[in-house]
Amino acid sequence: MSFTPLIAREICVRHPDLHLFSIVVQDAEVGVLQAQELNDTIAAAEQAALRDDAQRDAHLAAWAEAYKAFGANANRTPCSAAALLERVRKDGSLPCISPLVDAYNAVSVL
């Protein structure tokens, strides 16, 4: 399977320093994730979400500005990392969905 992400030219012109990374996972064995390692990563992400982090906040503010430029309301539809941070701060933990999604969410928060 081949996958080539396409980015609209207008986005590249408006945000010349934009960097994107795509991963395609096919036929992955979700069970290969080590439970303790995953739990440790989730715990680290939850702790990180509660700490002040100027670099992270600046990164998320830049995403909010990009969302505004696309015509979206970043307060109503924030990027996934901002939404996850808010959820951890509100609920005290990341949502538990599946090992693969949980790992992705933890990395997003970190």
Provide the whole-model pTM. Answer: 0.69
pLDDT of 54 > 90? The answer is yes
What is the arithmetic mean of pLDDT over 47-61? 91
- What are the pLDDT digits (tens) for 58-71? 989 988 888 888 78
Mean pLDDT of 33-56: 87
- Over residues 5-35, the pLDDT tens digits come to 888 888 888 888 888 887 777 776 666 557 7
- Please compute the mean of the pLDDT values over residues 42-56 and round it to a whole number: 91
pLDDT given at position 84: 93
Cα–Cα dist 60/71, whole Å: 17
Q: How far apart are CA 34 and CA 22, in angstroms?
A: 23
Among residues 61, 63, 106, 100, the alpha carbon closest in space to that of 88 is found at 106
CB 73 within 8 A of CB 82: no
Q: By the 8 A CB rule, do 32 and 99 touch?
A: no
The answer to whether 31 and 103 are in contact (CB under 8 A) is no
Quickly state the pLDDT bin for 72 (edges 50, 70, 90).
Answer: confident
User: What's the whole-number mean pLDDT along residues 30-50?
Assistant: 82
Per-chain mean pLDDT for the chain: 85
